[in-house]
């Protein structure tokens, strides 16, 4: 079955931005999708002012996973860390001019990877942070858990 990808998806898949590892990252997140087996690792270098100075990713996954990680890293680079937490998979999909419906979950992985890396940064700094949690389909769990999930 042929799948329609936007030009932007193809461009980011062919020439992904911010690929690699940050050795002295102060926030690292790894997420995976159990169904497709794809894995995404996100590295953040956040300075003392809370600005994401550098971001890199490694994605072992499909074309959409690579394209969404690429654009997601572009979208948070140079931004305050709090802003990275507001990145949604929807915004990522829009920035790529859309994704085929069966590939939306790949963009969710990108959002979760960013949030997992930020969560790791907060943990290292001893700042309380709740989320992301498995029950959420993105966009929530930013600063609190007032949407009804029980904390583990």
What residues are labeled active site? 36, 106
Q: What is the 3-state secondary structure (H, E, C) of 102-126?
A: HHHHHHHHHHHHHHHHHHHHHHHHC
- Smallest distance, ligand FES to C-beta of residue 69, A: 9
- Smallest distance, ligand FES to C-beta of residue 117, A: 17
- Smallest distance, ligand FES to C-beta of residue 38, A: 4
- Smallest distance, ligand FES to C-beta of residue 31, A: 10
CA distances from 74 to 56, 78, 86 (A): 9, 9, 14
Q: Which is nearer to ligand FES, 64 or 121 (CB)?
A: 64
Whether the CB-CB separation of 44 and 55 falls below 8 Å is answered with yes
Residue 112, Cβ density class (10 Å: 0-12 exposed, 13-18 middle, ≥19 buried) = buried
Whether the CB-CB separation of 19 and 43 falls below 8 Å is answered with no
Which residues in this chain contact ligand FES in the complex, by CB under 6 A? Answer: 33, 36, 38, 61-62, 64-65, 103, 106, 109
- Where would I find the beta strands (DSSP E) of 33-110? 39-46, 52-60
Of 137, 130, 120, give the one whose Cα is nearest residue 151: 130
User: What φ, ψ does residue 102 adopt, rounded to 5°?
Assistant: -70, -5
């Amino acid at each position: 079955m042929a799948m329609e990808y936007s030009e932007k998806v193809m461009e980011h898949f062919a020439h992904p931005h911010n690929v690699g590892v940050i050795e002295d990252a102060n926030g690292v997140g790894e997420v995976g999708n159990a169904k497709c087996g794809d894995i995404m690792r996100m590295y953040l270098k956040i300075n003392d002012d809370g600005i994401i100075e550098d971001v890199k990713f490694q994605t072992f996954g499909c074309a959409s996973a690579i394209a969404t990680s690429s654009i997601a890293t572009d979208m948070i680079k140079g931004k305050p860390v709090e802003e990275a937490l507001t990145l949604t998979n929807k915004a990522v999909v829009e920035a790529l001019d859309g994704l085929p419906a069966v590939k939306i979950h790949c963009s969710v992985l990108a959002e979760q990877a960013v949030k997992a890396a930020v969560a790791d940064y907060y943990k290292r700094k001893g700042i309380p942070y709740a989320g992301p949690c498995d029950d959420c389909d993105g966009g929530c769990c930013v600063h609190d858990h007032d949407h009804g999930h029980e904390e583990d």
